[in-house]
Structure 1
Amino acid sequence: MISLDEAVTARLESHGARFEVLVDPDAALAIKRGDFEGDLEDVIAAEDVFENASRGDRPAEDDLETVFETTDPLEIIPEVIKEGEIQITADQRREMQERKRKQLIDTITRNAVNPQMDNAPHPPERIDNALEEAGFTVDPMEPVQQQVDEALDALRPVIPIRFEEVTMAVQIPAEHAGSAQAKIREFGELEREEWQADGSWIGVLTFPAGLQNEFYDTVNEHSSGEAETELIKDKDELSTR
């Protein structure tokens, strides 16, 4: 369950009665869209249905039966969210907007590059400032992923930017290969891997170009700076290697 401070109220009025439930705001939006995949008990603040959540008043069981044909809160809560309205305070809206702005900046930073600077990643501060300059407003009620394209359209007149992937080959010496390759795999799609006779590991990965600096830092950290990396500019090269 979540804390009351994190929850928003979803409210449904039907058959002359009012029903309120307390739920995580992002989960409420996912449930309303029909794409929630988690455990309901993890995203609610109370396994209960209220007539007035702020006072803790509960509706009559007869009203629950009339509207939902059950008194089970875990069956009723999703219905209240789907059919009702999500109530958020001004403070909650600001907090949601700020959190999603940070998520949006992180997503763009990890995936976007500067095509005028040899596809170098943009720092988060540059993306943040450019969004501010472009006057882009994050919608706290929409998933971050659905706002990325619109944000990029707003950013392009301000900074040179595009989404791009890179393919990187890396060779890890035998003494570091076991632990290092596990970390490196997390960066993206493993195109190819080979364990060499001397125990070293070679991997070829494709991942968002914005992660290049983080990739190099991870490789160096887990190989004590002894790994070798190579940027593969043409994936067709892989078939000849």
Structure 2
Amino acid sequence: MPIQQPSNQIKLTNVSLVRMRKGKRRFELACYQNKVQDWRSGVETDLDEVLQIPNVFLNVSKGQVAPNEDLKASFGTTDTDKIILEILKKGELQVGEKERHAKLQQQHATVIDLVASKCVNPSTKRPYPTTIIEKALAELGINITANKSPKAQALDAIKQLVAKQIIPIARARMRIRVLGNAKEAKKYRDTVVALIEEIEDENWSQEWDCVGFIEPGKYREIGDLLRNESKGRANLEVLDMAVIQEGEEAM
């Protein structure tokens, strides 16, 4: 004889929890994975896409819904809609193991890509493949975490790589020249300069002539900007690849 499941039992799958302690009680919401952050950032506005069930729970895994007396005692109201909004705004998002692992993998890849894009072999002035960067970081015992920004971790990794020289490595910059009609260049000059780390020389005559240093990753962005703003009449030229030793400049 088959086992009959209780008719009021709801099975939740792919659930993310938002927890909040209010007074003497802890309350939980059952949400869809990745939707809470979308809602908090304003990307998602439909609560039906965020909540698996529009209820406030004491324990989601047990299906224990918070009774009205607990809601009243803790929140001063039994209005579920208001309470849900408060928990979504102020509660702590509990990330599942698979989600946490996926985030860490993404963080790891991002840090490796950042380090590879900002460094070169000082002899060849060419970047290393990400596989070599990853191996060098492993030899240094650098652990990438999900709790710190990729940029901050990449900066720390670069400092250690340059200091220890597990492989010959240095920070990279590209020396470029931008040439454009002076009258037209006044419209886009500030936008271009914002992408340049350091201006070496800048002259105005019939043409705007600007020489400066950029991160290699900015080259395509500047090129696209010039093509759009100058309608293809401005020129972008690579003059040289330069390297920066430790301590000369921060990221």
> Shared fold (TM-score greater than 0.5)?
yes
Separation (CA, whole Å) in 1 of partners of 2:61 and 2:137: 37
Question: What are the within-5 Å matches in structure 2 for residues 1-241 of structure 1?
Answer: 8-13=16-21, 15-20=24-29, 22=31, 24=34, 27=37, 38-39=41-42, 41=44, 46=50, 50-51=56-57, 52-53=59-60, 58-69=65-76, 71-81=82-92, 86-114=93-121, 116-117=122-123, 119-152=125-158, 155=161, 156-163=164-171, 165-172=173-180, 187-189=195-197, 191=199, 197=206, 201-208=208-215, 210-211=216-217, 215=219, 219=223, 222=227, 227-231=236-240
Secondary structure (helix, strand or coil) at the match of 1:121 reads: coil
Q: Which has the higher helix share?
A: 1
In structure 2, the CA distance between the partners of 1:67 and 1:217, relative to structure 1 (3 Å rule), is closer
Structure 1 residue 40 displacement after superposition: 7.8
Gaps of 5+ in 2: 1-12, 243-251
Of structures 1 and 2, the larger Rg is shown by: 2
2-structure distance, mates of 1:98, 1:162:
26
- RMSD (Å), alpha carbons: 4.8
2:35–2:50 CA contact under 8 A, matched in 1: no
> Structure 2 length as normaliser, TM-score?
0.56
Aligned length: 210
Identity %: 19
Per-residue Cα deviation, 1:167-211 (whole angstroms, up to 9, x for no partner): 53222589x989x989966744584766753xx553444432x43
1:96 deviates by 0.8
Q: Distance in 1 between matches of 2:111 and 2:193?
A: 24
* 1:230 CA drift (Å): 2.9
Q: Quick one: structure 1 residues 17 and 186, their matched pair in 2 at CA, closer, same or farther if it must change by over 3 Å?
A: same
**Post-superposition shift, 1:127?**
1.8
